[in-house]
Structure 1
Amino acid sequence: MTAITHHISDALLDAYVTGSLGHPFAVVVAAHLSLCDACRARAEAAEMLGGSLLDRLAPAPLSAGAQDRLLAALDDASPPPLQSTASGIFPAAVMQALGGQPPKWRMLGGGIRQQILSADSQGSLRLLYIPPGRAVPAHSHGGLELTLVLQGDFSDSEGRFGPGDVEIAHDEIDHQPVAGPDGPCICLAATDAPLRFRAMIPRLLQPLFRI
Structure 2
Amino acid sequence: MNVQHQVSDELLLDYASGNLSEGWSLAVATHLALCPQARRRLQAMEGAAGALFDKISVSAKATDADWDKMKAKLSGSRSAGHTVARPSQSEGVIPEPLRSYLGGDVSSLKWKALGRGAYQIRIDTGDPDTQVRLLRIPAGKPVPEHTHDGRELTLVLAGSFHDGQDLFARGDLEEADGSLLHTPTATEGEDCICLAVTERPLKFSSWVVRMIQPILKI
How many Å apart are 1:19 and its aligned residue?
Answer: 0.6
TM-score, length-normalised on structure 1? 0.83
Matched, 1:165 2:172: yes
Write the deviation string for residues 161-203 of structure 1: whole angstroms up to 9, x where unpaired. Answer: 1111111111100001111111110001111111100111221
* Matched residue type, 2:98: V
Compute the displacement of 1:160 (Å).
1.1
1:116 partnered with 2:122: yes
TM-score with structure 2 setting the length = 0.81
Residues 199, 49 of structure 1: alpha-carbon distance in 2 compared, 3 angstrom cutoff = same
Extract structure 1 runs of 4+ deviating beyond 4 A.
Answer: 60-64, 83-87
Q: Identify the residue that residue 141 of structure 2 maps to in structure 1.
A: 134
Q: How large is the Cα RMSD of the aligned pairs?
A: 2.4
Is 1:97 aligned to residue 96 of structure 2? no
Looking at structure 2, the residues matched to 189 and 41 of structure 1 have their Cα atoms a distance apart, in angstroms, of: 24
Q: What residue number does 1:177 align with?
A: 184
Amino acid in the other structure paired with 1:89: V
- Determine what percentage of the aligned residue pairs are the same residue: 39
Q: Unpaired runs of 5+ in structure 1?
A: 67-82
Check whether the contact 1:84–1:95 (CA below 8 A) recurs between aligned residues: no
1:122-160 deviation digits (Å, cap 9, x = unpaired)? 211110001111111110011111101100011122511
Using the TM superposition, give the Cα deviation of residue 48 of structure 1 relative to its aligned residue in structure 2, in angstroms.
1.1
More deviation, 117-126/175-184: 117-126
Separation (CA, whole Å) in 1 of partners of 2:62 and 2:183: 54
Larger radius of gyration: 1
Question: Structure 2: how far apart are the matches of 1:208 and 1:87?
Answer: 35
Say whether the 8 Å CA contact 2:135–2:195 is kept in structure 1.
Answer: yes
- The structure-2 alpha-carbon separation of the partners of 1:93 and 1:87, relative to structure 1 and needing over 3 Å to count, comes to farther
Give the length in aligned residue pairs.
Answer: 194
One-letter amino acid of the counterpart of residue 123, structure 2: L
SS of alignment partner, residue 120 of structure 2: strand
- Please tell me the residue identity of whatever aligns with 2:11: L
